[in-house]
Amino acid sequence: MIHVCRKEHFNAAHKLWNPKWSEEKNKEVFGPCANVNWHGHNFELIVTVKGLPDEDTGFVVDLKALSTLIRKLVIDKVDHKNLNVDVDFMEGKMASCENLVMEFWKILEPAVKDITPNGGLYKLTLYETERNFVEYYGD
């Protein structure tokens, strides 16, 4: 099995805030990420596709097609947006990286399958900062 990766970048703001909690508890749990006026990140999304090379092209997936798909379905919807306010698929959800990457999976998994004849989506890695990231395998 071959794993092919494509990295995309986006900028977005968010706030970690549980409306069931007091302001004090939100600040205690989320620290500066609970800033009332939001905060932002330069996110990196790595999409990993698994599969076997196509006989005719030698590709597991056409990386240009994969990039176009990721940009159209995900990046264009989150880039320079407020994840809590502007992104329809995050409505009613905590704007954590964990929830965000799971929503990305729901969007990308069927679309990636369509352009990967001998494979599919394997893993998503979402970097919030250089040192903080999440990985999701769809389970």
Would you call 39 a catalytic residue per the annotation?
A: no
Neighbours of 46 (CB within 10 A): 15
Collapsing DSSP to helix, strand or coil, 95 comes out as coil
Would you call 3 a catalytic residue per the annotation?
A: no
Would you call 80 a catalytic residue per the annotation?
A: yes
Is residue 74 within 8 Å of 108, Cβ to Cβ? Answer: yes
The one catalytic residue among 3, 39, 80, 109: 80
The one catalytic residue among 14, 33, 41, 103: 33
Strand 81-82 with 119-127, pairing: unpaired
Instruction: Give the active site residues.
Output: 33, 80, 128
